[in-house]
Amino acid sequence: MTDAPRAAALELLRVVREDDAYANLALPSILRQRGLDGRDAAFATELGYGTLRWQGWYDAVLEACVTRPWAKVEPALRDILRLGAHQLLHMRVPDHAAVDSSCALAKEAGPRQTAAGRAGFVNAVLRKVAALDEDGWVERLGEGRPSDDVEWLATRWSHPTWMVRAFQDALGPRRAELGALLAADNAPARPTLVARPGRLSAADLLALPGTEPARWSPLAATLVHGTPDSLAEIRDGRAGVQDEGSQLVALALAAVPVAGPDQAWLDMCAGPGGKAAILEGLAVDRGATLVAVEQHPHRAELVESSLAPASGTSVVVGDARLTPWGDTVFDRVLLDAPCTGLGALRRRPESRWRRTPADLAALGSLQRDLLRAGLAATRPGGVLAYVTCSPHLAETEFVVSDVLRGRTDAWLEDARGLLPGVDDLGDGPTVQLWPHRHGTDAMFLAVIRREDAPVAQ
């Protein structure tokens, strides 16, 4: 019989591969079904998530260990071999335990009459993997490859090559940091909590068991022990789970001075509601109201659940390109645009293998349309924050420059001063946060001010 934690990790890989499931949504259900908690749940999580993150690297290693084309190895066996490779190369699992448990998985993964053959194949391949440690495999597979070669970096750090090229472009003159960025994408991120303004103080958040101060956001704490759902403050909505970068861009919008009244705020693409919950609390404190728009009904329900009861926030289900809020104009507008999510690869282990360059074309058109609608909804003297959880230039700088080109009624403000205490923010006026520099997701922020009259450039 196979052990339950490894079987759970294998099931996770299967549903991600066959059902296109999201790992963070699928794994809790798998753990519950198998009755796993505590150390067993932690082992299954590290094994499943780690294997998904490092899949590209393990495929390169395993391809060097099989005598048939890797693509012709049946998918279930590829998953088992990847799990074994992760235990051998990145976990403190004895070699014999990693190999034997993988053979047990192979025996139960197919018809009984082929069990011995499947187990023998897995045993032979993983013993070849175990002959070298991680550094040994890097030396062997990287022999003769320049350390800054993009294709080698993509293999070594388990990213699609097109993503690595895009990150290199986004880093610009600091492209020497590319390896550090890719390594940061593969480092599991601890949960970051947020004290939702008006419902919980930052001091009370930091008084919770297992928390310690986060690096930048005055609302944040890092959870170093335990799980978020074990905290009553998370369960009742006074606090949330939210990356520090997401907190910072919401706080930045609230910090921009506006000329004239400051009474009407808009969150154009509010699902699942984390930024809306921050903005709502800050708006109420200033006597302002928030309108939160979400196109998809199930995500609009998540927005509703993130907001304080009887807060006065209106949640509108609709396409923000079609201005479902009517003719109202707003003092502050947040456009957290739908994007590829390439800035959150450390939290979404399978997403790097799902996205393709083709996604950028459809999203780029949507992002531009949303930004034009957002500017139309921003009153003269008001401000709009354009945000993406992606550093890809096609989703950040290029979108903003295309929409603002030729306009004389809107201009970029320097956003760096809106993130007090955060260092290494570049030359401005936009801000790009990075996992390897700031310990956050790779959030992009552009702050655009609307004007009555033509702006001298």
- Whether the CB-CB separation of 119 and 127 falls below 8 Å is answered with no
CA distance 246 to 194: 10
- Whether the CB-CB separation of 256 and 413 falls below 8 Å is answered with yes
CA distance 362 to 93: 44
**Joined tokens for residue 306:** 């993130």
Among 65, 103, 269, 389, the one annotated catalytic:
389
Q: How many C-beta atoms lie closer than 10 Å to residue 331's C-beta?
A: 21
Best CA proximity match to 386, nearest among 419, 394, 399, 376: 399
**Joined tokens for residue 337:** 């645009």
**Joined tokens for residue 132:** 């070298």
**Joined tokens for residue 394:** 């096609």
**Joined tokens for residue 182:** 């890719």
CA distance 34 to 299: 28
- Whether the CB-CB separation of 269 and 338 falls below 8 Å is answered with yes
- Whether the CB-CB separation of 37 and 31 falls below 8 Å is answered with yes
**Distance in angstroms between the alpha carbons of the first and the last residue of the chain:** 71
Amino acid making up residue 197: P
- Whether the CB-CB separation of 55 and 353 falls below 8 Å is answered with yes
Amino acid making up residue 168: Q
**Joined tokens for residue 45:** 């999580």
Strand-strand pairing, 378-388 and 330-336: parallel
Amino acid making up residue 434: W
Environment class of 261 (CB within 10 Å of its CB; exposed 0-12, middle 13-18, buried 19+): exposed
- Told to judge if 103 belongs to the known catalytic residues of this protein, a careful annotator would answer no
CA dist list (Å): 292 to 33, 271, 367, 400: 36, 9, 18, 22
Residues 420, 421, 424: CA angle, nearest 5 degrees? 105
Q: How many C-beta atoms lie closer than 10 Å to residue 175's C-beta?
A: 15
Q: Which residues are catalytic?
A: 389
